[in-house]
Structures are given as structure tokens and as C-alpha cells.
A and B are shown apart, each in its own frame.
Chain A
Amino acid sequence: DQQVKQNSPSLSVQEGRISILNCDYTNSMFDYFLWYKKYPAEGPTFLISISSIKDKNEDGRFTVFLNKSAKHLSLHIVPSQPGDSAVYFCAVLSQGGSEKLVFGKGTKLTVNP
């Protein structure tokens, strides 16, 4: 039973356009959300995070939006660049003493020149 769902396995966009990656979660008690980017043969690299007390966090070309009522978050990349091509993982922090991350299955983003 997946607690974190990324329903789009892949996404292809043109360089310069916006990329929107989506993530849904099931547990309304989750209160910290992260996006990681992963290149082949490398470990996941932290990209951006958001706490449940906010609905938006921006860092340069990357913005994460959180809709708590819908249990949905999204990552916007604008403008998209070919170097952004990677697998993007949504993760939530499962608290209650553990601090473990629960990941979605990832979305492979391809940015075409």
C-alpha cells in the first residue's frame, strides 16, 4: 500500500518550458516533504523541501507547492534545462521517532534541447 505516489513514470518537455512533477500522499500526518533528483549511477541529491506550515517554497528555478487538503505536492522547474534530465523522487518524512523518508517511485524527466 503506497503512502507516496508519483503517478507519472515519465515526463518529456522542451528546453525553456515549465516542467511540473506531481506527487500524492495518503497520510495527513506527514509534515515535511522533500524532492530529490537522481542521475544514473549516483545517489539521490537533495533539491528542495517544504514544511506543512507553508504552501510554497522557492529556490531559483525550482518551486514546490503543497496542497494539504488534497494531500498533493508538485515541483515546478522553470525554465527547464537539458541538465535537469534525471529521475525525480518525492519523499515524505515519516516521524514518530524514526525520521525515515518514504519515497515515491520516481518520475523520469527528459528535457529536450
Chain B
Amino acid sequence: GAGVSQTPSNKVTEKGKYVELRCDPISGHTALYWYRQSLGQGPEFLIYFQGTGAADDSGLPNDRFFAVRPEGSVSTLKIQRTERGDSAVYLCASSSPPVSTQYFGPGTRLTVL
């Protein structure tokens, strides 16, 4: 079956602009996660959804970052007033609890100029 998909694959924007990154999880997976990976680092947790609600948003770095999952499937990560330090690969994963294995999408590479 289809895996996790993410769009766009690459996004280049200018400092101060607003961006939206989309994640389409594996069909039937109720849990959805966003991670961010900077060069030379492992993925770092941002936010976790169980169904439509954000069960844990403790990894969001500040209030410029926001994510939604209105119908419990597709999720959008929104970044306002982008900064150069936001440049990274943004990864989405999904899982089907109680199984803990998370399956990742290919990521969106965000570059803020």
C-alpha cells in the first residue's frame, strides 16, 4: 500500500514569509508525528497527533510554528515569519497504535534565504 507522502519535496522561501508543509499519512493510521532534521543531527520531535487533536506539541520551537489535522488524516505544518534557522528537512511519520513503529515520509527540505 501507499506510504507516507509529503508535499512539496523542496521549498525555498525568503526570510519573513509564511510556509505550509503537507503530510498524508498511511491510510488508517491514527497517530501522526512531525519531526525536524538539521544537518548532522537525528530527527527531532515537533508535535504528535492522535486523531484530530495534538496530544503533544512540546517540541514546537516557538509560536511561529503551528500544525493542524482537522479530519484526522492529512496534516499541515505551518510556519509564520520564517527565519534562516528554520532551514531543515521536515519529516512526517504515522503509526497505528498500539503498534509503536513509526513510518516516515520522504520529508520536505525547507530552505529559508
Contact = CB atoms under 8 A, between A and B. Distances in A.
Contact of A34 (B33, B55, B101): B101
Nearest to B43: A103
Contacts, number: 66
B106 interface: yes
B14 interface: no
Interface string A26-66: 00000010101000011111100100000000000000000
A1 interface: no
Size category of the binding interface on chain B: 20 to 34
Nearest to A41: B106
11 contacts: A34-B101, A43-B6, A43-B106, A44-B91, A97-B55, A98-B45, A98-B56, A99-B31, A99-B55, A100-B59, A101-B43
Size category of the binding interface on chain A: 20 to 34
Interface string B84-113: 000000010101010011111111000000
A36 B43 CA distance: 11
A93 B31 CA distance: 14
Contacts of A46: 101-104
Contacts of A91: 42
Nearest to B57: A98
Contact of B41 (A36, A102, A105): A105
A91 to B, nearest CB: 8
Nearest to A105: B42
A41 B105 CA distance: 11
A49 B56 contact: no
Given A100-B56, A101-B35, 19 more contacts: A43-B6, A44-B43, A46-B104, A49-B100, A97-B55, A97-B56, A98-B45, A99-B33, A99-B48, A99-B97, A100-B45, A100-B59, A101-B43, A101-B45, A101-B93, A101-B102, A103-B42, A106-B41, A106-B42
